[in-house]
Amino acid sequence: MKVRLYSSAAQFSAACQNVRALGGTLGLVPTMGALHSGHMALMHEAKRLATHVAATIFVNPTQFAANEDFGQYPRTLDADMAKCEAAGVNLLFVPDVREMYAPGDSTRVRVSGVADVLCGAVRPGHFDGVATIVTKLFVLAGTCTAVFGKKDYQQLKVIERVASDLKLPIRVVAHPIVREPDGLAMSSRNAYLSAENRRRSCAISRGLSKAWRIFESGERDIDPILDCVRTELAIEHLQLQYAELADADTLELFGGQSRLSERALLAVAAYCDKTRLIDNVVLGEDLDPLQ
Ligand code: AMP
């Protein structure tokens, strides 16, 4: 069956309601497009969990700061549509900016706590933009199962808070990180990397894997675990923005002399030249990133 394309919010919302009116269930996969196998894994998971899948493609301006890559972000709509079609996506919502932010739009959804640390600390306003657009998409989609990737682990936690705090009829499901064969977490931004930088970027997943291994063999001190990441990044001269250990649910940072619990998020953000890359592993829960 052909994927049905919507640019109107009202028509997309009506189509979602129609799925339920006819006795179906809806799986929702919000994306910014430039779809890769990580996105497609989310679509397949949504298909497994619901009778119909709605994907959305929207490069959301409010989650980019003025100095960030909103203008350059890859936009590959024709290829994206073909991938959605092949994956059996039923509804594809591709609004323009004015459709999601009409003139005069001034409402923002702000999450505190989980949104304030890690990427929230270095990208002020980013998660306000994320929470706002995802709330709008949730309102349009209505009752559904929404699938998000653990690649953006903090985003997932922010969205879980939004759905729960605002009592939205949305079940949020997390999907594991999908990686390239050499370990690099798939990302639309990997398209920015030259062949040499693409190679250097593997230092991130290598560092996470080393940290995973020492955690598995019993290490619970913070510094040796963070050093695994710092050392690998230094070897390839990647510029570390942060490497942090945090409670995997509240994202409260472990610091100082504290020792880790049996489950902890290890999150990294680093620049390879001008390309910002993020990656993470939940120690005590996830498999070895390089497995
Ligand atoms: P984006 O288009 O980058 O905003 O991502 C859309 C959704 O795909 C988010 O839920 C991401 O977490 C998820 N995603 C992106 N890359 C990956 C990946 N490598 N593995 C799993 N999920 C991913």
Catalytic residue (one of 39, 44, 52, 175)? 39
pTM value is 0.98
Say if 183 falls within a structural domain: no
User: What does the pLDDT look like over 194-253, one tens digit per residue?
Assistant: 999 999 999 999 999 999 999 999 999 999 999 999 999 999 999 999 999 999 999 999
Which of 31, 83, 173 to probe ligand 1 with, by most ligand atoms within 8 A of CB? Answer: 31
Domain count, the chain: 2
Last residue of a domain, one of 151, 175, 199: 175
> CB-based contacts of 136: which residues, under 8 Å, 6+ apart?
9, 100
Domain residues for the domain of 223 are 188-283
Kindly tell me the number of DSSP H helices and DSSP E strands found in the chain.
Answer: 10, 9
Q: Directed axis angle between helix 9-21 and helix 126-141, to 10°?
A: 50
User: Annotated catalytic, 39?
Assistant: yes
Nearest CA owner, ligand 1 atom 5: 31
Same-domain pairing of 278 and 197: yes
Same-domain pairing of 210 and 105: no
Q: What is the CA radius of gyration of the chain?
A: 19
Say if 26 falls within a structural domain: yes
Which atom of ligand 1 is found nearest the CA of 148? 10
- Contact (Cβ atoms closer than 8 angstroms) between residue 266 and residue 225: yes
Nearest CA owner, ligand 1 atom 6: 31
CATH number of the domain within which 267 lies: 3.30.1300.10
Same-domain pairing of 11 and 112: yes
CATH number of the domain within which 66 lies: 3.40.50.620
Which atom of ligand 1 is found nearest the CA of 155? 12
Q: Alpha-carbon distance 74 to 59, whole Å? A: 9
Same-domain pairing of 99 and 234: no
In what order do the strands lie in the sheet containing 264-272?
239-246, 264-272, 275-283
User: What does the pLDDT look like over 74-129, one tens digit per residue?
Assistant: 999 999 999 999 999 999 999 999 999 999 999 999 999 999 999 999 999 999 99
Same-domain pairing of 206 and 171: no
Query: In terms of Cα–Cα distance, which of 132, 114, 129 is closest to 252?
Result: 114
Going from the Cα of 29 to the center of ligand 1, the distance in angstroms, rounded, reads 9
Going from the Cα of 221 to the center of ligand 1, the distance in angstroms, rounded, reads 30
Same-domain pairing of 202 and 138: no
* pLDDT for res 112: 97
